[in-house]
Structure 1
Amino acid sequence: MVEKSLMNNIMKRLIYIILTVVVLGTMMYSCKKDGYFVGGDLHNPKINMTTYDWLKSNKDGVFDTVIMLIDKAGVKDKINKQGITFFAPTDYDIYNYVQARSIAMQRIDPEKKWTVDSMIKYELPRFADSIDMYIVNQTLQNDLLTENGTKYKNAKGKDVVVSYEPTDDTNLGYNEASSVRPRIVYFSYLFQALDNNVPASDIALPIGVRTRVQTSNAQTTTGVVHVLNNSHILFFYR
């Protein structure tokens, strides 16, 4: 079953995270403004493969279920379109979604459950359409982003805000001994109109949802990838 495979993969990754968290904490201090992190290591942002191939090649399998759904929904060309930015969800974000759907269904029928298999059976058209929520039709490298954020249209024609904000959170690499504050990319999806004078850091429900990017500025041969953090819920489901 696809659902069992997803759960096994997530459990393996959780163990990996626990074992490496101390190492990551020290390595984060070396973060540079225009770099990006994969498993705590700083890399050159230039990647000599397409967005699809880069996600598929992830050594920890963080995108295995995402790639499977992309393949089954037939939207590989969407994320590989030249000159776009893809705010990529992870398998954790899919897990969060099926859990949230299950909880909502069980309020009506305690026996109901939503799974990845349910998505494959019933939701591939929705997935194919909703992947556009995560695509902006221009390349948004970190050095083009601002602290207060800029509005862009996603591929569905809806407003999103992308910002690049300094942080004092030690869990995100801040070190009081350093004169350089780390900066984090945020992807904010808007449910309502937002005044242009409102900074991205003030976006909150019911106006919109802010999602932190955990891996930013990956520049593939087809575009830019910013990977959303593992607490995101696919489709911004609520």
Structure 2
Amino acid sequence: MVERSFLTIKFKEMKNIKILYAFFILALAITSCKHDDYFVGGTLHNPKVNMTTYDYLKSNKDQLFDTLLLIVDKTGTKDKINQSGVTFFAPTDYSIKAYLLNKTLEAQRKDPAKRYTIDTLIKYDLSHFTDSINVYIIPSKVEASALNDKGTLFQTAKATVKSVVSYEYTDDVNLGYNPNSANKPQIMYYTFLKKTLTPPIVASEISSADGVRNRVQTSGIETTTGMLHVLENGKPDRTGHILYFSQKRN
């Protein structure tokens, strides 16, 4: 019995060593990856894709952009997001769904039976989208390596709107922070400005009265036509990114 207990202890020790070794190899692999690579769902991806921005969005296996591309097709704005050398901050279908919910709640203040659907948007709101999609486009290449945590001011493709893009350190464990690591992860943020701000600007200190700040959930995708970053999903509680940089309405 003593010998069996001893062997059991040794087996557990060896098992723990193997687990620690596996974590070490994983950590080594991650830290040795090129800075330009990016993660989606825990899988490492090459940032360069051999297709246009539109085609890359269309090829998404989770169909995150089907409604977005339906609106793009209906408004004839495909060429805008496929312009050579531009950066597109793409909203997902979840952001469109959050917008439709906002509009529904607004309409129901007058008539509880009202609903604002994608068909409603296509019928009445296409001209608004045709113009507003320009605020998602920056007519230059925006890469994380050229950004800082304070933020860089950019002119969008809409002449009257500027934005701030920042690359900030985070200590949020939900965003990849590990208190046992000496290195903090960095997250890209896109802030839509409601008014002109005078530098110096600190992105994290821009108030909700001055701008709408959204996290970028996937960044650094280089297509054959330009750069693509994906804004965070709109959530059921209507936080996250809402189409047109709308804000939650009660």
SS at match of 1:206: coil
What's the CA shift for 1:30?
4.0
Counterpart residue type for residue 91 of structure 2: P
Cα RMSD (Å): 1.7
SS at match of 2:221: strand
Worse overlay, 139-148 or 76-85: 139-148
Runs of 4+ that moved beyond 6 A: none
Counterpart residue type for residue 129 of structure 1: D
Give runs of aligned pairs for residues 56-205 of structure 1, distance below 5 A: 56-157=58-159, 158-205=161-208
Larger radius of gyration: 2
- The CA distance in 2 between the partners of 1:98 and 1:75, in whole Å, is 20
**Structure 1 pair 143–216 and aligned structure 2 pair: CA distance change class (3 A):** same
Contact kept, 8 Å, 2:151 with 2:201, in 1: the verdict is: no
1:4 counterpart residue number: none
1:44 counterpart residue number: 46
- The CA distance in 1 between the partners of 2:117 and 2:30, in whole Å, is 39
List runs of 5+ in structure 1 lacking aligned partners.
1-25
Identity %: 51
Contact kept, 8 Å, 2:38 with 2:220, in 1: the verdict is: yes
2:223 counterpart (216, 220, 225) = 220
What's the CA shift for 1:155?
0.5
- The CA distance in 2 between the partners of 1:37 and 1:79, in whole Å, is 23
- The CA distance in 1 between the partners of 2:155 and 2:175, in whole Å, is 28
List runs of 5+ in structure 2 lacking aligned partners.
1-25, 234-239
Contact kept, 8 Å, 1:35 with 1:216, in 2: the verdict is: no
Give TM-score, length-normalised by structure 1: 0.85
SS at match of 1:224: strand
The yes-or-no answer on 1:234 pairing with 2:243 is yes
- The CA distance in 2 between the partners of 1:36 and 1:135, in whole Å, is 21
